[in-house]
Amino acid sequence: GQVGKDGYRHYMEKELHEHPVAIGQTLQRITDPAAKTIALPELPFNPADVPRVTITACGSAFYAGMVGRYWLESLARMPVEIDVASEMRYREAPQPNKGVALLISQSGETADTLGVLRSLKKEGQSIVSVLNVEHSTMGRESDVVLGMVAGPEISVASTKAFTAQLSVLAALSIEFARARGTIDQAQEEKLTASLLDLPSKAAEVFTRVEDIQAMARVVAEARDVLYLGRGICTPIAYEGALKLKEISYIHAEAYAAGELKHGPISLIDRTVPVVAIAPSTILFEKTLSNLQEAKARGGRILAFTDAEGAKKLKGVAEVIVTLPDVDAFVAPILYAIPVQILAYEVALLKGTDVDQPRNLAKSVTVE
């Protein structure tokens, strides 16, 4: 049936507020909360025998896949190949015997992602799809469907489906790690508990909207914006830049913070704000020094961090959004939310058509 806006100004605003529910419902399906363990549908292969996972997607789903790569590599010690679907489709990359192809798509209908699904199936890969619309073409053609339970997403720019995708990928990574013996039971419980904590932490993000609005006022004045992340939060910088471009039409680029000195630092001056995705995890000090370099060149630093990071960013960042403390493992899921809210708030200031940005389609079913 018809999905309404429930009193929100835009579908995007409504769907942003549905992040906690989308994450919670998704986790309900794939975890055993009492045991703090993962409970995925049965897989038709043993993760211990899988030589490689090949991740493919488009748009925001691709950035979710990039986070998935970090998790699969670091937790499950799993070799991972990843690319956007339009490239993967024509790369003629060799596929390993017993390999798994992991496709990620909100709609399950994106032409390029479906094209990769079909060609990797022909190459003998097991097909695992992470989908919001399970009764979709990709759903029908997959060996295993891992459903997100995000509910219908109407806004062209993806929001809650992104954190739901990440929740599924996190659970899959824990499950692979358990099966491959790279984590023990205590670690599985700790990681699962950090996931199960997310809905309440995600809800807390909405108490920071005023700070995000202060950040939005700086971003809305800019013609170009640079987003920086590091490690597992680099894909969240990409997601932030994509969302800003899509709905506010401000040019944004994302970089792994360590690459700043290899090019983009030459762009920085007062007119190019730098948005940092910087939870105080192991790479924080390195990000901090990258930001100090940017500030020394006149850059205006806007930072998403936690209480610990906020102390160190004082005097460096002009606006700081202090987010709830979370385990580093789930930080990309939590940080995606304020980054998307920032794009929304900027679009409001710019007066653009938030739900139907020009030239974009919700689901791209042609190549």
- Which residues of the shown chain bind ligand G6P in the complex (CB under 6 A)? 58-61, 105-107, 110, 113, 156-158, 360, 362-364
Residue for token pair 């995705």: 277
Q: Judge contact between 229 and 235, C-beta under 8 A.
A: yes
Q: What is the strand order of the sheet 251-256 is part of? A: 251-256, 224-229, 274-277, 301-306, 319-323
Handedness of CA 6, 10, 15, 18 (dihedral sign): negative
Q: Least separation, in Å, of the C-beta of 106 and ligand G6P? A: 3
- Nearest to ligand G6P of 25, 280 (CB atom): 25
Question: What 3-state DSSP class applies to 127?
Answer: strand
Q: Which of 5, 121, 295, 362 is the catalytic position?
A: 362
- Nearest to ligand G6P of 156, 202 (CB atom): 156
User: Angle, to 10 degrees, between the axis of helix 331-350 and the axis of helix 198-205?
Assistant: 30
Q: Least separation, in Å, of the C-beta of 69 and ligand G6P? A: 17
- Nearest to ligand G6P of 105, 167 (CB atom): 105
Question: What 3-state DSSP class applies to 228?
Answer: strand
Q: Judge contact between 219 and 203, C-beta under 8 A.
A: no
Closest-by-Cβ residue to ligand G6P is: 59
Q: Least separation, in Å, of the C-beta of 364 and ligand G6P? A: 5
Q: Least separation, in Å, of the C-beta of 119 and ligand G6P? A: 16
Q: Is 350 a catalytic residue?
A: no
- 300: number of Cβ within 10 Å: 22
- Nearest to ligand G6P of 105, 126 (CB atom): 105
Q: Judge contact between 211 and 319, C-beta under 8 A.
A: yes
User: So which residues are the catalytic ones?
Assistant: 362
